[in-house]
Amino acid sequence: MDILIIDDDAVDRMSATRTLKASMLQIKNIDQTASASEGIALAKQHQYDMILLDYQLPPSNGIEVLRELRSNSDFATAIVMLSHSNDEELALSCIEAGAQDFIMKSEMTAARLKRAILISKERYQLERKIIDSHKQLKALAEKDSLTGLSNRYFFDEALKDAIPKAARDNTTLALLFLDLDKFKNINDTLGHKAGDDFLKEVARRLEKPVREGDKLCRLGGDEFAILVHDFSHPDQIRFLVKRILESLSEPAALGDQKIDISVSIGVATYPECGQTPVELMQSADIAMYRAKASGRNQVQYYSKDFHNHIENRVRLEIDLKQCLEKNQFVLFYQPQINSQTLKLEGVEALIRWQHPELGLIAPDDFISVAEEAGLINDIGRWVLESACQQFSQWMHLGMAQNLALSISVNLSAKQLTDFGLTDHLQNFMARYNIPAHQLELELTESCVVNSSSALDMLKALSELGIQLALDDFGTGYSSISHLNQYPFKVLKIDQSFIQPVKSLSDANLLKAIIAFAHSLNYETVAEGIETELQRDICIQLGVSRLQGFLFSEPLPAHELEKNWLTN
């Protein structure tokens, strides 16, 4: 047995040595020191079986030495505290600080010391077993069972500790959030076993580019995080991202299948992007969201402007859910002019959101939010009914004297999947006595091309007698090849082909589009007419209807009545 005595009193050290030798214990070596610092150094250099530690060790005391030794989790020596005092509170303090026993020097007989040493060793061995079990449980609690990486619990604790340390040391941190793109497709098509194998392969590859000391974790599902400590230059993060993307560039082999790995990465740094764990995680999450929104399989770095954009979008979604209940939507109407008579031939109904704090919001700023939030069908039905109701009032009051006058309403791609749409339209037309041929529904090319059920829905709408118009014609990718499949009667020429026209010689592309439409017997509407020259060229090229600010901006119903329907 190897024993170390740390005591500043030479007489007490000699007494402790004699008592040890008289204890009949199998003692191999007894080292002594009068210095606390030397005692700590010896204890860390050698594996002693027991340390006898004096409480009084000027300029400090034995408890400070005890705490210093116990601060090392790998320290494996039992400690008995010695003192001339019989203070019970002192004895308790020593035990609480990590001593296995406390002996008064006046009571230190060979039998007492032998018993204390043997009991202390047993206590210490039990303590080590508990500590080892705790470490094993802690390791299990911090490990992801599927991939073997650290898990969300470990990540949260690591980030919570890392930020105060970085603040003290005046160093930087980087947080990378990684989300696999379209991972759900693997589970849905190949099964969850293949999905698990895919995640394990991704985890294995992510371990390679990560530096030793940085933390790679699986947060759950198909989400991973990397916490990068103390980088000296932003290029280090850029190079890390490059290595990550390179490590995932080769497809993963799942049985006979080769599956491409696509990942969206968001990066945020401390202290620039957040001062707390929550702020830093939000910033990395926002950057990752931006990577997905920008096309996936790429990296985006957090920016304050984009954060504000996301916050505003979230606020809009929350407010949007209450719009219909609070009657905050309004319709504006823009005239469509007959190119031959230059008289009103139709109106297009355009939704606006009268927000109580933000004022009048244009549809471009909230329709995409409504689609993502699953609100577009309810909003779309409100627009259809409100437009039909208003048009019926104009006809009933004798304001719409021209029986050919039509009203146009826009549909989104999501509405083409609303199987109740035709029934609702029939009810609206019957309730408000709207002839089907005077109701026109507008859809963009992207709506038609991206919707697998679009053709059946459009045929059903056409069979009701409703006019169908293809909006923003010429801006899509499949116009000519798909046009014959769909029952459109009207082509609305996008303003991007109108506004650049400064003379007839500038209008070759516009001329070709109009000629194409006429060859297939489509009625044409030119959008975005802002000058008399544009009006005249469109008339000369045979456009049927004209629409734009030259004639009128979109107007509330009462202003349209005053300016166009009562003349």
- Helix H, strand E, coil C: the string for 272-335 is CCCCCHHHHHHHHHHHHHHHHHCCCCCEEECCHHHHHHHHHHHHHHHHHCCHHHHCCEEEEEEE
pLDDT at 226: 95
Distance CA 561, CA 567 (A): 9
pLDDT at 451: 52
Lowest mean pLDDT among 20-34, 100-114, 118-132, 238-252: 118-132
Distance CA 318, CA 352 (A): 17
Do 256 and 242 touch, CB atoms closer than 8 A? Answer: no
Could you tell me the CA-to-CA distances from 202 to 150, 220, 226, 456, 484 in Å, in that order?
Answer: 14, 13, 13, 41, 46
Instruction: Find out whether the peptide bond into 271 is cis, omega within 30 degrees of 0.
Output: yes
Token pair belonging to 167: 């603040």
Distance CA 567, CA 564 (A): 6
Whether residue 86 has pLDDT greater than 60: yes
User: Which helix (DSSP H) or strand (DSSP E) does residue 204 occupy?
Assistant: helix 192-207
pLDDT at 480: 63
> Band of the pLDDT at 466, cuts 50, 70, 90?
very high
206 compared with 115, residue with greater pLDDT: 206
Q: Using one digit for the tens of pLDDT, what is the confidence trace for 374-428?
A: 899 999 999 999 999 999 999 887 765 555 689 999 998 888 888 899 999 999 9
Token pair belonging to 275: 């001062």
- Helix H, strand E, coil C: the string for 114-168 is HHHHHHHHHHHHHHHHHHHHHHHHHHHHCECCCCCCECHHHHHHHHHHHHHHHHH
Q: Using one digit for the tens of pLDDT, what is the confidence trace for 513-560?
A: 999 999 889 999 999 999 999 999 999 999 999 999 999 999 999 999
pLDDT at 395: 86
Q: Using one digit for the tens of pLDDT, what is the confidence trace for 119-134?
A: 777 777 777 776 666 6
pTM, two decimal places: 0.58
pLDDT at 537: 95
Percent of the chain whose predicted confidence (pLDDT) is above 90: 42
**What does the domain layout of the chain look like in residue ranges?**
2-140, 152-302, 321-565
pLDDT (mean) for 450-465: 82
Q: What is the DSSP letter of 8?
A: S
Whether residue 504 has pLDDT greater than 90: no
Token pair belonging to 232: 């000296």
pLDDT at 188: 82
Lowest mean pLDDT among 78-87, 111-120, 346-355, 470-479: 470-479
pLDDT at 180: 93
Taking each helix axis as running N to C, give the angle between helix 183-190 and helix 192-207, from 0 to 180 degrees, rounded to the nearest 10: 140
Q: Tell me if 2-140 shares its fold with 321-565.
A: no
User: Which helix (DSSP H) or strand (DSSP E) does residue 202 occupy?
Assistant: helix 192-207
> Band of the pLDDT at 339, cuts 50, 70, 90?
very high
> Band of the pLDDT at 217, cuts 50, 70, 90?
very high
Q: What is the DSSP letter of 555?
A: E
Do 267 and 301 touch, CB atoms closer than 8 A? Answer: yes
Whether residue 61 has pLDDT greater than 70: yes
User: Which helix (DSSP H) or strand (DSSP E) does residue 404 occupy?
Assistant: none
Distance CA 397, CA 402 (A): 13
- Residue 14's identity, in one-letter code, is M
Beta strand 252-254 with 257-259: parallel, antiparallel or unpaired? Answer: antiparallel
CA dihedral 56, 62, 63, 64 (to 10 degrees): 110
Q: What is the DSSP letter of 497?
A: G
> Band of the pLDDT at 313, cuts 50, 70, 90?
confident
The domain 2-140: what is its CATH number?
3.40.50.2300
Q: Which CATH superfamily is domain 152-302 in?
A: Reverse transcriptase/Diguanylate cyclase domain (3.30.70.270)
Distance CA 485, CA 452 (A): 13
Helix, strand, or coil here: 469?
strand
Alpha helices in 451-521 (DSSP H): 454-463, 479-483, 508-519
379 compared with 116, residue with greater pLDDT: 379
Distance CA 305, CA 316 (A): 16
The per-residue pLDDT of the chain, averaged, comes to: 87
Specify which residues 259 forms β-bridges with.
Answer: 252
Whether residue 139 has pLDDT greater than 70: no
Taking each helix axis as running N to C, give the angle between helix 376-396 and helix 421-431, from 0 to 180 degrees, rounded to the nearest 10: 20
pLDDT (mean) for 275-281: 93
> Band of the pLDDT at 360, cuts 50, 70, 90?
very high
Whether residue 189 has pLDDT greater than 70: yes
Straight-line distance from the first to the last Cα atom of the chain, in angstroms, rounded to the nearest whole number = 114
pLDDT at 133: 67
- Helix H, strand E, coil C: the string for 319-358 is HHCCHHHHCCEEEEEEEEEECCCCCEEEEEEEEEEEECCC
Whether residue 256 has pLDDT greater than 80: yes
Could you tell me the CA-to-CA distances from 502 to 28, 47, 179, 313, 508 in Å, in that order?
Answer: 105, 92, 49, 38, 12
pLDDT (mean) for 337-352: 95
User: Which helix (DSSP H) or strand (DSSP E) does residue 383 occupy?
Assistant: helix 376-396
Distance CA 150, CA 159 (A): 13
pLDDT (mean) for 501-517: 89
pLDDT at 452: 55
Whether residue 65 has pLDDT greater than 70: yes
Beta strand 56-57 with 50-54: parallel, antiparallel or unpaired? Answer: unpaired
Give which of 153, 275, 251 is closest to 202, Cα–Cα: 251
Domain 321-565 CATH assignment equals 3.20.20.450: yes
Do 386 and 350 touch, CB atoms closer than 8 A? Answer: no
Distance CA 218, CA 461 (A): 49
Give which of 226, 237, 231 is closest to 154, Cα–Cα: 226
Distance CA 474, CA 510 (A): 10
Helix, strand, or coil here: 501?
coil
pLDDT (mean) for 165-192: 89
pLDDT at 418: 87
Contacts of 123 (CB under 8 A, 6+ apart): 78, 100, 101
Lowest mean pLDDT among 54-68, 431-445, 495-509: 54-68
469 compared with 257, residue with greater pLDDT: 469
Distance CA 554, CA 437 (A): 23
pLDDT (mean) for 288-305: 85
> Band of the pLDDT at 342, cuts 50, 70, 90?
very high
Whether residue 477 has pLDDT greater than 60: no
